[in-house]
Amino acid sequence: MTAPSPPLPPPGQAVRTTCPYCGVGCGVLATPDGQGGLHIAGDLDHPANRGMLCVKGMALGETVGTEGRLLAPRIGGREADWDEALSLVAERFSQAIERHGPESVAFYVSGQMLTEDYYVANKLMKGFIGSANIDTNSRLCMASSVAGHRRAFGSDTVPGLYEDLELADLVVLVGSNLAWCHPVLYRRLAAAKEARPEMRIVVVDPRRTATCDLADLHLAVAPGSDAVLFNRLLAEIHRRGATDPDYLSHVEGFDAALAAAKLADGAATGLSEADLGRFLDLWIGTERTVTLWSQGVNQSDSGTDKVNAILNCHLATGRIGRPGMGPFSVTGQPNAMGGREVGGLANMLACHLEIENPAHREAVRAFWNAPRIAERPGLKAVDLFHAVEDGRIKALWIICTNPAVSMPEADRVARAIGACEFSVVSDLFATTDTARLAHVLLPATGWGERDGTVTNSERRISRQRAALSAPGRARHDWRILAEVGSRMGWPEPFGWQTAAEVFREHAALSGVAGRLGGDFDISDLERIEGADYDALDPFLWPRAGARQGGRFFGDGRFHTSDGRARMIPVAPKLPAGGAFRLNTGRVRDHWHTMTRTGRSPRLGRHLAEPFIEIHPADAARLGLKPDTLAEVGNTHGRAILRVLVTARVQPDQPFAPIHWTGETAPSGRIGALVEAATDPVSGQPANKSAVVSIRPFPAHWYGFALSDGELRPSCPYWARATLPLGTQAELAGTEMPADWNAFARDLFGLAVEPVVACDPARGLIRMAFLQDSRLKAALFAGPDPVALQRAHVATLLGAVSDPGLLAGRPGAGRADEGATVCACLGIGVNTIARAIAERGLITVEALGAALGAGTNCGSCRPELRSLIQLHSARCEAAE
């Protein structure tokens, strides 16, 4: 049943595939090592990355394999065979539909599914079940960009290409931490600026991120004020006579948009007149301008307006769809774009067609030869889980996403899933916070095993190909969905045998859309043979025809009823001040809920526990000391986070990363703190602004533990990370354990006696568990945050016990690395700082030549640059 197509390669032969993480969509060469693992390299021939990979891509080999995988279906916790599981799912969905109608069931899917998977899910729900209750985690991610594009262009079209970033004279990054979230695109931008130093880069972000490192100007705007900034820009474009009258003949709504823009009060951005003026001069004075944005724009209760405020400026100046200029929404997930192409959102049909349009509905229904078609938009993510909570949804199927962590009001969402009459989860793991709540678990094949297509941020479709066989009884997501569709009574429409057949049908449907005037048309592939599909090279859509070079809208033709674009009047909505507004986002080396990146020791080295960045003035006022713990809470939830005091964030605007879960740090789940407020147009939640209160967590002790086996912490705070030969954990509690020996035995599940070193005067406990004089486990604890060279101690696991072990420091003559900066080569901050200060290495290249740092994947290059700035400045000051 799960025979992959094409056949798997022999060991040693590379498979060309695509990275499963961010929307850059880098080409990867994956070479099976013959033992279930993969060697990874960048694909020199892939146009997105030309051989480069970031650290997450480089570490892909550490995240595959069968360890910890869900290998067979489970029903109510017991293993079941596929036949039983699929029949049960089909029966319970059919039963709910029969008794309560098609709106009583829902799918919640993901921008990390392949296009083929997504296509099948959408066809089953919208065409055959006849409801549009299929929504996706793209609602939390791209929905405001989709809505903004549709309002302005009449279609959800990204006009530009990656090369526009390289061709531009000005790149404005709005609410995007490109250096960490789209690292290869960032490196392309950095290389372009190096080649043409006159190129200018502006970062608009309340926080000083690693991306600012490349910026000529960082605008630390007041949170949520982006629309004010772009309204101010539009008014100034007009005042200076910088509009493009020819282009404006293709645009409706200029006057109304301008009238709204003129009301903008630049002061609301919180920027100085000088900075604001510099930005206006740069933007208005530079024709080749790309404005790129991401979640700082989308994840807002006025995200769609922010998007349109940006689009208005590009439309007014005609800077769109030509080389080196245009608005550019970069997508987060590897197939966010493919999901939009198949119509995976509850308010879209397929191939960018509109659910509200009867002609579109009928065309899709007829193509599918479906008994019915969803008549109106379905429930968007937040509303969908509310409907699960109040029992309107009787059967729920969650595929390739972890909403019990990633949804706003995550505790509430988890309770709703747990209480649903019938819930199904398809995942790689049984242990995710969401999977643990489901009645039925279905084992899916993951990256490296699955086979299909994805579309990146610049509309480039690439193949993901299998290099490993499916573990256990895991099956491809599309096939699982098709089997359920067949069993629900539609064997013929769901009877595909290969992913290529699904792709052909999708391509053919896009031709129907194209004939209705749609932008997405790849119908020249509707008859692609299996072998050609297997060999398909990455390609851009549109593939041919009038849209030369793959850009849209340079010609002023849009997909609206009259072919003209729309400028939208935007009245900025500003958040109320006063409270702490918790900003949330990503770190360099982890992916979302860490179900895969959490398995890689290399990726755990950079940042190993949940934290909160807080401004020094706030920290002083709250009595929060560096490295202690803070308790962050509101009516929705509560979290305990490590305190990182830094002026990178503004006062009252702390930041916390989103990656930790019940599996890795149960008190670090940030989604639990975010209120489910949504944008009125797109339904996207405002994930960047949780109103919280903060206070010191009353820890009486802190600990650090490592083990070559299991770690079973039971204290109020713990955070776990994977080591090359085991696991480490940060620990803390409000009451000192009465018996440390008993505590350690429970923690490690070990019966052997530890070697103990205590320092009663300072209340320090140090324990090592040895076997054949090799270190099996160790615990360090005391009343203050544990000061210890963690990277060093981790190397001692499994080694013959080192005399320096219980001191927690390297022995004489061994350098102390400090926190890891270059994860690929394991080079720490102290080594780098010393090289800068003592050896006068003041370029990233010099550090690379001397230490190797930054020479592998390059993800740490922005941090290397900051360290150079910091330490060379210190040297100068000391001179």
Ligand X SMILES: Nc1nc2c(c(=O)[nH]1)N[C@H]1C(S)=C(S)[C@@H](COP(=O)(O)OP(=O)(O)OC[C@H]3O[C@@H](n4cnc5c(=O)[nH]c(N)nc54)[C@H](O)[C@@H]3O)O[C@H]1N2
User: Please, which residue, 594 or 619, has the CB nearer to ligand SF4?
Assistant: 594
Would you say 533 and 503 are in contact if contact means Cβ atoms under 8 Å apart?
yes
- 849 CB-near residues (< 8 Å, 6+ apart): none
Q: Which option in ligand SF4, ligand X, Mo ion, none does residue 664 bind, with CB closer than 5 to 8 A by kind?
A: none
Shortest spacing between CB 384 and ligand X, in angstroms? 14
SS3 category, 79 = strand
Residues of span 649-688 touching ligand X by CB under 6 A: 658, 670-671, 674, 687-688
Part in contact with ligand X (CB under 6 A); list of ranges 79-87, 168-176, 485-493, 739-747 = 168-176
For the chain, percent helix, then strand, then coil, each to nearest 5?
A: 35, 20, 45
Q: Among 393, 400, 441, 786, which residue interacts with ligand X (rule: CB under 6 A)?
A: 400
Part in contact with Mo ion (CB under 5 A); list of ranges 26-34, 139-147, 640-648, 814-822 = 139-147
- How far is residue 544's CA from residue 566's CA, in Å, rounded to a whole number? 26
Instruction: Report the candidate in 292, 266, 273, 340 with the shortest Cα–Cα distance to residue 118.
Output: 340
Host H or E run for residue 312:
helix 303-317
Say whether residue 444 binds ligand X (CB under 6 A): yes
Say whether residue 177 binds ligand X (CB under 6 A): yes
Q: Which residues of 365-384 are buried (b: 16+ CB within 10 A; e: fewer)?
A: bebbebeebbeebbbbbbbb
User: With 0-12 CB in 10 A as exposed, 13-18 as middle and 19+ as buried, what is 517?
Assistant: middle
Torsion of CA 173, 177, 182, 188, to 10 degrees: 50
Q: 801 phi and psi, to 5 degrees? A: -55, 135
Q: Which option in ligand X, Mo ion, ligand SF4, none does residue 687 bind, with CB closer than 5 to 8 A by kind?
A: ligand X
User: Please, which residue, 22 or 715, has the CB nearer to ligand X?
Assistant: 22
Part in contact with Mo ion (CB under 5 A); list of ranges 11-19, 328-336, 705-713, 832-840 = 328-336
End-to-end CA, the chain = 71
Shortest spacing between CB 847 and ligand X, in angstroms? 22
Shortest spacing between CB 3 and ligand X, in angstroms? 18
User: Please, which residue, 11 or 680, has the CB nearer to ligand X?
Assistant: 680
Q: Among 15, 17, 24, 499, which residue interacts with ligand SF4 (rule: CB under 6 A)?
A: 24
Would you say 368 and 125 are in contact if contact means Cβ atoms under 8 Å apart?
no
Q: Please tell me the number of Cα atoms within 13 Å of 47 on its side-chain side.
A: 15
Say whether residue 332 binds ligand SF4 (CB under 6 A): no
Say whether residue 21 binds ligand SF4 (CB under 6 A): yes
How many other C-beta atoms lie within 10 A of the C-beta of residue 852? 14
Q: Which option in ligand X, Mo ion, ligand SF4, none does residue 611 bind, with CB closer than 5 to 8 A by kind?
A: none
Say whether residue 296 binds Mo ion (CB under 5 A): no
Shortest spacing between CB 503 and ligand SF4, in angstroms? 21
Shortest spacing between CB 590 and ligand SF4, in angstroms? 11
Say whether residue 210 binds ligand SF4 (CB under 6 A): no
Say whether residue 428 binds ligand X (CB under 6 A): yes
What are the Cα distances from residue 371, in Å, to 75, 364, 374, 549? 31, 11, 10, 40
Q: Among 4, 15, 16, 22, which residue interacts with ligand SF4 (rule: CB under 6 A)?
A: 22
Q: Which option in ligand X, ligand SF4, Mo ion, none does residue 26 bind, with CB closer than 5 to 8 A by kind?
A: ligand SF4
Residues of span 154-183 touching ligand SF4 by CB under 6 A: 182-183
SS3 category, 714 = coil
Give the contact letters, 467-486, x = binds to ligand SF4 (CB under 6 A), - = no: --------------------
Would you say 111 and 331 are in contact if contact means Cβ atoms under 8 Å apart?
yes
Residues of span 581-620 touching ligand X by CB under 6 A: 583-586, 588, 590-593, 595
- How far is residue 610's CA from residue 120's CA, in Å, rounded to a whole number? 37
Cα 189 from chain centroid? 20
- How far is residue 247's CA from residue 254's CA, in Å, rounded to a whole number? 11
Say whether residue 129 binds ligand X (CB under 6 A): no
Residues of span 53-112 touching ligand SF4 by CB under 6 A: 53-54, 56-57
Would you say 774 and 798 are in contact if contact means Cβ atoms under 8 Å apart?
yes
| Site residues for Mo ion per CB under 5 A | 141, 332
| Site residues for ligand X per CB under 6 A | 22, 110, 112, 137, 140-141, 174-177, 180-181, 204-207, 209, 221, 223-224, 226, 294-296, 299, 332-333, 399-403, 405-406, 426-429, 432, 444, 446, 450, 477, 583-586, 588, 590-593, 595, 658, 670-671, 674, 687-688
| Site residues for ligand SF4 per CB under 6 A | 19, 21-22, 24-26, 49, 53-54, 56-57, 182-184
